[in-house]
Chains A and B, each alone.
Chain A
Amino acid sequence: GENVEQHPSTLSVQEGDSAVIKCTYSDSASNYFPWYKQELGKRPQLIIDIRSNVGEKKDQRIAVTLNKTAKHFSLHITETQPEDSAVYFCAASIPGGYNKLIFGAGTRLAVHP
């Protein structure tokens, strides 16, 4: 079955620096890759997603890149701010319906003022 690996597990940056989180997946048929942000004590919320027919997608300070050949995708956050501090999860969808997502283990990002 699909397996998603996420690195690093923790990431500490200074405010204003960039942060990059990487994920790899095993099922080449996976075609949808969302990223969720979970602040302490809150529910996960979608921040950006990418489909397999696109190589890159941006939304203000956040961008996601997808390399289908290598089966990896990455989240890039530029000009980090303290409110970016949270746990970030990547996920890959299982083809065949039911919107079944397999999540990575999460990355705890700390942005220091």
Chain B
Amino acid sequence: DGGITQSPKYLFRKEGQNVTLSCEQNLNHDAMYWYRQDPGQGLRLIYYSQIVNDFQKGDIAEGYSVSREKKESFPLTVTSAQKNPTAFYLCASTIGTTNTEAFFGQGTRLTVV
């Protein structure tokens, strides 16, 4: 069953801790993206990657880090430097890098406790 999978679905973090959100796709898509969704603010781009070992900052990259060691995987680390990490995080992938449909994962809801 092809698709894009995020895990875990729910994640709780203590203040000062780093946490890593997983995103895996078996669609053979080149590009992958991380978005943050807050109520009333739509989706904001955190990081994106066109190919393996390459990634670019989005509009709200501060306090986040990513890696792209494999085509199928694009994990996001929320560091302690992110001052307001509680949010819903969505990973997406596209087959190309120009004007193509984005396929989203089910999302991870991160809560700082």
B67 on the A face (CB < 8 A): no
Chain B contacts of A32 at CB under 8 A?
98-99
B90 and A44 within 8 A (CB):
yes
A97 on the B face (CB < 8 A): yes
Say which one of A45-53, A56-64, A70-78 lies at the interface with B. Answer: A45-53
Chain B positions 85-110 with a Cβ under 8 Å from a chain A Cβ? 90, 94, 96-102, 104-107
| Nearest chain B CB to A58 CB, angstrom units | 18
Complex Cα spacing A42 to B107, Å: 8
| Nearest chain B CB to A38 CB, angstrom units | 9
B40 on the A face (CB < 8 A): yes
Describe B's contact surface by its main secondary structure. loop
B102 and A98 within 8 A (CB):
no
Chain B contacts of A9 at CB under 8 A?
40
A51 and B99 within 8 A (CB):
yes
Complex Cα spacing A51 to B31, Å: 20
Contact of A31 among B44, B99, B104 (CB under 8 A): B99
A6 on the B face (CB < 8 A): yes
CB within 8 Å for A98 and B99 given contacts A42-B106, A89-B42, A105-B40:
no
Q: Which residues of B contact A (CB under 8 A)?
A: 31, 33, 35, 40-45, 48, 50, 56, 58-59, 90, 94, 96-102, 104-107
Q: Which residues of A contact B (CB under 8 A)?
A: 1, 4, 6, 9, 31-32, 34, 36, 42-46, 49, 51, 89, 93, 97-106
